[in-house]
Chain A
Amino acid sequence: MNISKDKSNDSGMPPPRGPWAILWLRLRKNKLAMTGGLTLIVLYLMCSFGGFIAPYGMNDTNKYTVKYGPMLFGGYTIVKTGDILAEDENFNEILLPSYEKRWNWFDGGLHFHDSDGNFTLRPHVHPLREYESWDEYGEMEYILAEDQTRSIPVRFFVQAEEEHEVFSLCGFFKVFGHTHLMGLSPADIPQEPNLHAGLFLLGTDVLGRDLWTRILYGGQVSLSVGLIGIFISISIGLFIGGLAGYFGGIWDFLLMRLVELLLAIPGLYLILTLRYALPNDLTSRQTYIMIVAILAIVGWASTGRMIRGMVLSLRESEYALAARSLGGSSLRVILRHLLPNTASIVIVTATLYVPYYILGEVALSYLGFGITEPDSSWGLLLKDCQVTEVMKYNPWLIIPGFFIFLAVLAYNFLGDGLRDAADPRAFLGASRNHEE
């Protein structure tokens, strides 16, 4: 290292860059890849601090605000549809009102004027009132809509009465606290019968929980499953692929038959069958570990085969031969010489494969075999859409899907950029980036 440095200083050239520096330089030029990377950083940070960003706790339910629309995009107002003729207890004819709620896009919901109608920079929300609506059979139902005559300010750094987690690292290391980034202060909420208030930026789910809060908590599971899963399966793949490729012979034969076996069963069928063999009464921590384990068991095979192929060819390279002839042990040659040379491709493959783990968790949880209530994950949140009628009348329930899409898209952008930056020749014949 020193020698080359001296040389370059003599010739007045800048010092030569290492392979990682070159990779970074190339990657930085790829706008899509950088956007993807940045999106991922934001997503991961957002979900790690999910408890702080969310206005509520993960399971704060409010039975009065079930399936309320997303305040970020508008709000419901009440429309009188007619009167129902009825009799009171003294047999006098009375008229009972019949209402219908109507969705107003970007009108109501989160807005920037106070109760008196003056513009302010502080966002406000309207309180929600339960209106008694009668139908022709004399049945009364409550319809929840905004009381637009009043506004409640949204406060920043509000203190919640209960303690919630503020920061969480993949759901394992948690910090608790009372502060939320934004929310409604209890002091601002008028105490009246039939009047409720909430800050539901992306609406509420079928149990009246804030969807944005659930998304943030769910992301902790969905996003970390991808990272931990790929870490485990790449480790297994490196170990087994390295073993099979370096030693060859019977090892190679047996391990590759195992790989073929795993690849012969269509992924989701294998995942579901493995899930079937495991018990149902698991705690949330156990469920999480089970999902990661299943996905890693299914996922290591293809990386293992790839690494085996690379080690097989690298084994015959001059430097490996030199290391062997200098008396290097097998372990040393594999660990010091062969595996580091696969590093760039391993990193690229890992980035491109993370989406499969995220999607695996989504599929398992959506089908009801993964994360279950009362926990949260992006797949589980989509489960509310299983009944098409529910989805049709509460279309915001599909919003978690956009977050999955975003995460997968970001990983694909980053992985594609990394692939081009790492070593274009190593992936000759593989599909190409469109930003050539």
Chain B
Amino acid sequence: MLTFSLRRLLSIPPLVLVVSFLTFLLLKQAPGDFYSQMEADPTRSTTEVLRQKENAGLLVRLDRNQLVAIGEFSDDGHRWSFADEGGERPVIRKDGTPVRAKEASRSLLKFQIDGIQYQCDDEAVVYRKVGAIEGFFSWLFNALTLDFGTSYKFNRPVFGIIAERLLNTLTLSLAALVIAYGLGVPLGIFAAVKPNSRLDHSAGIIAFLGLSIPTVFFALLAMLFASYTGWFPIGDMRSLDYDQYGFFGKIANRIHHLFLPALVLGTSAMAGYMRQARGNMIEALGQDYVRTARAKGVSEQGVLFKHAFRNAVNPLVTLFGYSLASLLSGSLLVEIVMNWPGLGRLIFEAISAKDEPLVLASVLISTLLLVFGNLAADILLAVVDPRVRLS
């Protein structure tokens, strides 16, 4: 099992690397970026915007030697060149005659030489656009030191934002899991003990409804319920007057806010657990050891809980790892509809604002969550069930 875990662990870094590379390329492929609107805004100075882009790692400022090394090029039907003539800055020549920086920058706003894009600010300082591959590697080296860049939108390090939001998403998912297990497993077991009873049939209907109800719709219904009755807060994680509460008041306030989103997320997950628990229990009840136990005269309760239940419930322990994918996707919608400041709402906000570092980091962290969840589930399955051999 150790070798299995090790091998699986070793397969994670390449996967994460490829995911981040492809995501990076996808994001670079997108039309326009966070700064496009600023650049198009005539009231903003180009110098300022380009300097921001340089800080964000999108542009590299060319120094004197690099500028001169560009040599002669043509743009819009004119011949341009930067020549080092000993002055403070290189002399810009247009069709052979020197021109002033202001004039040059007006016509050289964006130009392209041999597929490399350049941008020029008001004072004719030239920047080179960082290519996708180059950008990825500089991002990667920073990422190895846990520096995922600075969010354009929030103007804060991405790492801090993600850590904060991740905690919220995990809280929500965990609460949803507790609800899903707490309701799903007992219902499934009871349904299996009395198959085709009224309980079984209503449990089956609940499972179908839970599986089928669209998350967006369910979350909206919950919001409608909250706004009509006023029993639950509408969105967010805590009240505005949160700081005034004592320790227990704070906890109660948090749970009050958490309850409805967790219930919505948990109910759809519950259906799966219930069906699984019912199926496992029915299978366990049909096994030879159950018959043997009954033949020995073990009480019905003993048969159910000591023999069948344990065997039925073991595989369920690991289900949470596999349900992480649907839980993460589900929580994305619940968070957005119910205004829960988690990872899902973060990526939504980041995509709306074209905040590339934030999008990239969110995708990456959600992938990591999923991959580790699956790994944990595989290992747990082997731990609880000796019949499963990992190889």
Interface residues of A (CB under 8 A from B): 260-261, 263-270, 272-280, 355, 359, 362-363, 366-369, 379, 382, 385-386, 388-389, 391-392, 395, 398, 401-402, 404-405, 408-409, 412-413, 416, 431-432, 434-436
Residues of A close to B104: CB separation below 8 A: none
Task: Name the contact of A367 in the complex, choosing from B204, B207, B336, B367 (C-beta under 8 A).
Answer: B336
> In the complex the two chains form, is B19's CB within 8 Å of A265's CB?
yes
Residues of B close to A404: CB separation below 8 A: 214, 217
| Chain B interface SS verdict (over half) | helix
Task: Give the complex CA separation of A395 and B225 in angstroms.
Answer: 10
> In the complex the two chains form, is B234's CB within 8 Å of A388's CB?
yes
> In the complex the two chains form, is B370's CB within 8 Å of A266's CB?
yes
10 pairs of A and B residues whose beta carbons are closest in the complex: A434-B204, A401-B217, A409-B212, A266-B328, A268-B329, A431-B275, A277-B26, A392-B227, A408-B212, A279-B31
> In the complex the two chains form, is A432's CB within 8 Å of B279's CB?
yes
| Residues from 341 to 362 in B contacting A, C-beta threshold 8 Å | 344, 347-348, 351-352, 354, 359, 362
Residues of B close to A280: CB separation below 8 A: 31
Task: Give the complex CA separation of A279 and B32 in angstroms.
Answer: 9
Task: Return B108 CB to nearest CB of chain A, in Å.
Answer: 27
Task: Name the contact of B27 in the complex, choosing from A277, A355, A366 (C-beta under 8 A).
Answer: A277
Name 20 interchain pairs, CB-CB below 8 A, sorted by A.
Answer: A263-B325, A266-B324, A266-B329, A267-B326, A268-B344, A269-B347, A269-B363, A277-B30, A359-B214, A363-B215, A367-B336, A382-B217, A385-B220, A386-B337, A388-B224, A388-B227, A402-B217, A404-B217, A409-B209, A432-B278
Task: Give the complex CA separation of A395 and B204 in angstroms.
Answer: 29
> In the complex the two chains form, is A269's CB within 8 Å of B31's CB?
no
Task: Give the complex CA separation of A431 and B184 in angstroms.
Answer: 14
Task: Give the complex CA separation of A275 and B348 in angstroms.
Answer: 11
Task: Name the contact of B367 in the complex, choosing from A266, A276, A363, A435 (C-beta under 8 A).
Answer: A266
| Chain A interface SS verdict (over half) | helix
> In the complex the two chains form, is B363's CB within 8 Å of A264's CB?
no
> In the complex the two chains form, is A267's CB within 8 Å of B325's CB?
yes
> In the complex the two chains form, is A261's CB within 8 Å of B223's CB?
no
Interface residues of B (CB under 8 A from A): 15, 18-19, 22-23, 26-27, 29-31, 195-196, 200-201, 203-205, 207-209, 211-217, 220-221, 223-224, 227-228, 234-235, 272, 275-276, 278-279, 282, 324-326, 328-329, 332-333, 336-337, 344, 347-348, 351-352, 354, 359, 362-363, 366-367, 369-371
> In the complex the two chains form, is A265's CB within 8 Å of B217's CB?
no
Task: Give the complex CA separation of A435 and B234 in angstroms.
Answer: 39
Residues of A close to B22: CB separation below 8 A: 261
- The chain A residue sitting closest to B25, CB to CB, is A277
Other contacts beyond A272-B348, A398-B217: 16, CB < 8 A: A264-B19, A264-B370, A265-B19, A268-B333, A268-B344, A276-B26, A276-B351, A362-B216, A385-B223, A388-B223, A392-B227, A398-B220, A408-B213, A412-B212, A413-B208, A434-B275
> In the complex the two chains form, is A268's CB within 8 Å of B31's CB?
no
> In the complex the two chains form, is B347's CB within 8 Å of A366's CB?
no
Task: Give the complex CA separation of A213 and B366 in angstroms.
Answer: 39
Task: Return A431 CB to nearest CB of chain B, in Å.
Answer: 4
Task: Give the complex CA separation of A165 and B211 in angstroms.
Answer: 35
